[in-house]
Amino acid sequence: MLKQATVWSKSVGKLDKNKDKEYIVNQVLMYGSLGEIADLKQSYGIDEIKRIFVEKPSQIYSKPAFNLIKNIILKINADLDMGRYIKSVY
């Protein structure tokens, strides 16, 4: 179940599973619990989550979170431009 704290900038009740898919995937990967990530995999499938992570990144990730998600959770072996993912600390 998607928590408001995970998608903090939008109302959970107003999110559309298909129209807001890219937002939901990136928010859950960065801010969600392991349970929410498991629910995400059930909802969209691992291939779609990987596609969104690679093709539609959001600059919301910390470097450690990016590495965890890319290498451990999604097991993506390709080199990705971290500048498209890492949020500025300034």
pTM above 0.95, yes or no: no
pLDDT at 66: 96
Quick one: pLDDT at residue 89? Answer: 65
What residues contact 33, with CB distance under 8 A and at least 6 apart?
Answer: 3, 6
Q: Which residues of 48-62 are buried (b: 16+ CB within 10 A; e: fewer)?
A: ebbebbeeebbebbe
d(CA 6, CA 76): 23
Q: Which of 7-11, 35-39, 73-77 has the lowest mean pLDDT?
A: 7-11
